[in-house]
């Protein structure tokens, strides 16, 4: 079964738009996480950024205390956040690149350029019994580098696939890149998650990618929740993901990018 991890960062973004710097405010990302769990989500993802633009320290500690599923802490590989993660003890951390000027994570971590630094953090997390994922582009060199770090998971950055989804040729090219990266990761003993830019329209095509364990989705779910409510939005995404059998690079395994109808 393909699992759904709900990223609640965008709930915190709405709160911070009015209550930034204050100890309380609405909406509450922790309450949102609990609603997602009740609706069937398999895990909760939160990104504790260095600039604290959305998720705050109090949020991750409350999530660790209150949620009953899997807590995935997205984070930059910097000492201050590593130290927080080791004390927090999430179920898994996902190391991502981070730039202050970006609106959201814009690309995968360049593991190949910083293998030693990633290895060092992976050792610390393994000693703390915390699983590690690396958020990388679907590039075979990055997959190989990830396998050398001691991480157990990669999360494939699906942003280019999502960006080109409505172009059948470019969308198919990006889908094939994701499939090849997943195949290579599996052969190297890595487990494979995926996320970024995924929505109700493009997820059915993504199900052609093999060996997926979990999809991490945030913005599309929060956007849909404005119309139908968060629980319904989660259930609709779970329905879009249903029937995943491990995927296949072959065209018969799912719709061609740009051909399936938009969710309304």
pLDDT in tens, 108-139: 999 999 999 999 999 999 999 999 999 999 99
Torsions phi, psi of 47, nearest 5? -105, 110
Q: Domains in the chain, start-ordered, CATH in brackets?
A: 3-249 (3.20.20.70)
pLDDT band at 255 (very low <50, low <70, confident <90, very high): confident
pLDDT digits (tens, 9 = 90+) for 156-165: 999 999 999 9
pLDDT digits (tens, 9 = 90+) for 200-225: 999 999 999 999 999 999 999 999 99
Evaluate if residue 263 carries a pLDDT over 50.
no
Q: What is the pTM of this model?
A: 0.92
222-246: burial string, b at 16+ Cβ within 10 Å, e else: bebbeeeebbebbebbbebbeebee
pLDDT band at 254 (very low <50, low <70, confident <90, very high): low
Selected catalytic residue, list 10, 47, 54, 164: 47
Judging by beta carbons within 10 Å of its beta carbon (0-12, 13-18, 19+), is residue 47 exposed, middle or buried? Answer: buried
Contacting residues for 173 by C-beta, under 8 A, at least 6 apart: 164
**What does the DSSP 8-state code read for residue 70?**
E
Selected catalytic residue, list 54, 196, 201, 214: 196
Look up 74 and say whether it is catalytic: yes
Look up 98 and say whether it is catalytic: no
Selected catalytic residue, list 74, 172, 183, 214: 74
Percent of the chain at pLDDT exceeding 90: 88
Half-sphere exposure of 20 (CA within 13 A, CB side): 9
pLDDT band at 248 (very low <50, low <70, confident <90, very high): low
Look up 219 and say whether it is catalytic: no
Evaluate if residue 250 carries a pLDDT over 70.
no
pLDDT band at 105 (very low <50, low <70, confident <90, very high): low
State residue 98's pLDDT score. Answer: 83
How far is it, in rounded angstroms, from Cα 264 to Cα 259?
Answer: 15
Distance of CA 43 to the CA centre of its chain: 10
Helices and strands per DSSP (H, E), number in the chain = 11, 8
Torsions phi, psi of 109, nearest 5? -70, 135
């Amino acid at each position: 079964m393909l699992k759904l991890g709900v990223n609640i960062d965008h709930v915190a973004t709405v709160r911070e738009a009015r209550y930034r710097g204050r100890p309380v405010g609405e909406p509450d990302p922790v309450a949102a996480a609990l609603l997602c769990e009740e609706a069937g989500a398999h895990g909760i993802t939160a990104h504790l950024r260095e600039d604290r633009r959305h998720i705050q320290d109090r949020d991750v500690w409350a999530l660790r205390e209150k949620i009953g599923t899997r807590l995935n802490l997205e984070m930059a590989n910097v000492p201050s956040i590593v130290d927080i993660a080791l004390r927090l003890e999430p179920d898994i951390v996902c190391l991502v690149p981070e730039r202050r000027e970006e609106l959201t994570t814009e690309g995968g971590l360049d593991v190949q350029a910083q293998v030693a630094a990633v290895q060092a953090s992976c050792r610390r997390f393994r000693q703390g019994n915390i699983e590690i994922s690396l958020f990388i582009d679907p590039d075979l060199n990055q997959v190989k580098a990830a396998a050398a770090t001691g991480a157990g998971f990669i999360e494939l950055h699906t942003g280019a696939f999502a960006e080109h989804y409505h172009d059948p040729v470019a969308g198919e090219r990006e889908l094939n890149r994701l499939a090849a990266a997943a195949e290579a990761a599996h052969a190297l003993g890595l487990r494979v998650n995926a996320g970024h830019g995924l929505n109700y329209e493009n997820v059915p095509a993504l199900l052609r990618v093999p060996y997926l364990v979990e999809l991490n989705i945030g913005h599309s779910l929060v956007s849909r929740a404005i119309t139908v409510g968060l629980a319904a939005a989660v259930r609709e995404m779970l329905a879009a993901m249903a029937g995943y059998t491990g995927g296949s690079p072959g065209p018969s395994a799912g719709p061609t990018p740009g051909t399936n109808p938009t969710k309304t």
